[in-house]
Structure 1
Amino acid sequence: MTQQEMLETIVKALDSKRAEDIKVLRVNDLTILGDYFIIANGTSTTHTRTLADEVEYQLSQKGKEPTHREGRGNGSNWVVLDYSDIIVHIFYKETRNFYQLERLWADGEPVDISAWTKQEGC
């Protein structure tokens, strides 16, 4: 599975469960942590956990498992799924506003994901 296919699968999984404000940043020139960060948020801690579960499920169906996970406990405000070159950050809305990863990684290159998400009202 290529990076592009993984990115598409993750974005579609998040979108299918109504993740809010999905962003993909290409950060390979800025850090050794990974090539891409995917940032999204849920509307509650339960929604946040559901989003992470869906990403894991969709990728596991294609033979990809995270090398590391954080924040899977009850009441978790931030779940991180590490797929080595793609790091998925799923926040509770207020936690995302607090940490502002997009601002921290503002030098990252935004990736156009419009082809992978449903249009509003559809």
Structure 2
Amino acid sequence: MSALSSLEQARRIAAAAAEKLADDIVILDMRPVCVYTDFFVLATGRNARQTKSIYDEVYAQLKADAKLTPRATDGVREAEWIVADYLDVVLHVFTPETRAFYRLEDLWGDVPAVELEAAAS
């Protein structure tokens, strides 16, 4: 178990994604509506190669710094929509087309977002 709070995990994930130049990084606070996770971190890569690179960076940083690895992953091979379940935080990395199609921000539009400036600090 990690010593990081779920919010700290979400912030680290967002910062690692930003290091790989992810676009449209959003942290959604899922606690009011969801029992299986506290936060979603959404990020977009310009193409499948960058999407995979963003995921790889998040994976490497959390494993090295906090000894965290995802409980489950999906979509890593195709890299159109990669989901990494860190239990308290779920990372979603999309290509632009996939993010526009699924529109998770609209689906979960009632949940609060964590300010990105706070996430990157």
Aligned mates of 1:115, 1:77 — CA distance in 2: 27
**Amino acid of the structure 2 residue aligned with 1:32:** V
> How many pairs align?
117
Matched, 1:108 2:111: yes
Change (3 A) 1:57 1:42: same
Q: Which runs of 5+ in 2 are unaligned?
A: none
Aligned to 1:77: 80
**Amino acid of the structure 2 residue aligned with 1:111:** V
4+ residue stretches of structure 1 with deviation over 2 A?
A: 115-118
Return the offset for 1:113.
Answer: 2.0
Q: CA RMSD in A?
A: 1.3
Return the offset for 1:116.
Answer: 4.1
Match of 2:23 among 20, 23, 35: 20
TM (norm. structure 1) is 0.90
Aligned to 2:51: 48
Aligned mates of 1:21, 1:88 — CA distance in 2: 13
Q: Which runs of 5+ in 1 are unaligned?
A: none
Compare the two structures and name the one with the higher helix fraction. Answer: 2
Return the offset for 1:117.
Answer: 3.6
SS in 2 for 1:22: strand
SS in 2 for 1:7: helix
**Amino acid of the structure 2 residue aligned with 1:72:** V
- Please give the per-residue CA displacement for 1:4-43, whole angstroms capped at 9, x wherever unaligned: 3212211110111000000001011112231101111000
